[in-house]
Amino acid sequence: MSALNLKVLISGAGIAGPCLAYWLARTRHAMSITVVERSPSPRVTGQSIDVRGSAIEVVRRMKLEQALRDMNTTEIGTSMINAKGNIFAQFVAGVTFTAEHEVLRADLCEIFLKATESFDNVKYIYGDSIASLEDTEKNVNVTFTNGSKETYDVIVAADGSTSRTRAMFLDPQTLKDSYNFIGQYIAYFSIPSRPEDPKTWQWYTRTPGLSIMLRPHRHPSKTLGAYLVITTPAHGHRFPDIEEAINAGPEAQKRIFHKYLDDAGWQAKRVLDGMDQADDFYMSRAAQVKLPRWTSGRCAAIGDAAYATFGVGTSLAIQSGYFLAGELSKVRSKEEVPRALERYEEMFRPVYKEMEELPLGYPQMFWPQTGWALWLRDSFLWVVSATQVYRLFGGRPGSFPALPEYDWKEV
């Protein structure tokens, strides 16, 4: 098969975007790959995330498994904390809450960015984004926010759950009700660590739907990951004061967490004081993205832009880049590009379907609104921990099927 000259534009330099860029660069086509990122520089914030199942095999084929292990947060398990500050349930890593491969989001992004540095056909542009696009039969005409214009053969939205790019090629009916707020607000930031801090995910919950969590950073880091959680009574339920704070910016967001958690108990004062001094504070809404279609013409969505999913979103993002690049590697002409994108969806949809549903009652069942419900949750966790029955089930559901084989260039 003769090599084609294909120009690909990827919107988003998080996890899915660089993974896709890597695999596109390893096809036997003469790819010209541009990754545009709205942020002015690579993001250095974000929570601890995990890599599971077939995504580990993708990382292994990228020859990055050791780099992933080197960036491990060193978290050895999860400890559930009660109102007295005592541990009442514990879970070991690799089975439930803590995965075998736990890494900070920024560190994982760095691993994938560095993996593409050796390819001279991969270019990153920061501080810019797609303003509009026109998908035609022969190509896609793109206008950037800086006013420049360019033409590409493929456009890929990899810009997260709140993607602006997907709305430029998917019709309103497809997008209707695709972004689903699941009733939880979360803040992430780093605070100074202490010698006595354990190497476990410490999870403290109090009513109504509030939580303070601490997670270790990799050795020899002098910081901990801090997480503040406010959970509403139901999916789609929003708190007007928090929504107002989100729109107002970081300082207003910090004030709102003080309002809800100042008297929360446990290590609230330490964590909130640390939040006030943190330079990596970030707040987000927890949401699930479910789309009936991911592709249109020469455009496609991958990662959270297509299927933000609790617990396995990172793994899906890593796998999706492999699948999409693999299907594009098989085209024989530029006219076959739309069909290749359709094949990516046909191939990857069953993988996603195995893992698309949230755990029953999540997140409200895990962050209850009433004292009675919290007692029931804690009692259940105590029994599961004490009997270690959780070891029989493993982590997040999903079969993680074997990866398809594609013709890649060796690196």
Instruction: List, in order, residues 6 or more apart from 333 with CB less than 8 Å away.
Output: 4
The residue ranges of the chain whose pLDDT is under 70 are 1-2, 44-46, 95, 390-401
Position 1 scores a pLDDT of 60
Phi then psi dihedrals of residue 181, to 5 deg? -70, 125
What would you report as the CA-atom Rg of the chain, rounded to the nearest whole angstrom? Answer: 22
Position 44 scores a pLDDT of 61
- Residue 142, Cβ density class (10 Å: 0-12 exposed, 13-18 middle, ≥19 buried): buried
Cα atoms found within 13 Å of the Cα of residue 28, Cβ hemisphere only: 10
State the Cα–Cα distance between residues 382 and 31, nearest whole angstrom: 54
Q: Do residues 390 and 97 touch, judged by C-beta distance below 8 A?
A: no
Q: Which residues pair with 126 in a beta bridge?
A: 37
Q: Please say whether the dihedral angle defined by the alpha carbons of residues 114, 119, 122 and 126, taken in this order, is positive or negative.
A: positive
Instruction: List, in order, residues 6 or more apart from 63 with CB less than 8 Å away.
Output: 411
Residue reference for tokens 């689903």: 180
CATH placement of domain 5-47+58-70+105-178+289-353 = 3.50.50.60
**pLDDT, tens only, 255-273:** 999 999 999 999 999 999 9
State how far the alpha carbon of 323 is from the alpha carbons of 54, 96, 158, 343, 404, in Å.
12, 27, 14, 9, 8
Residue reference for tokens 């190497």: 199
Provide the whole-model pTM: 0.91
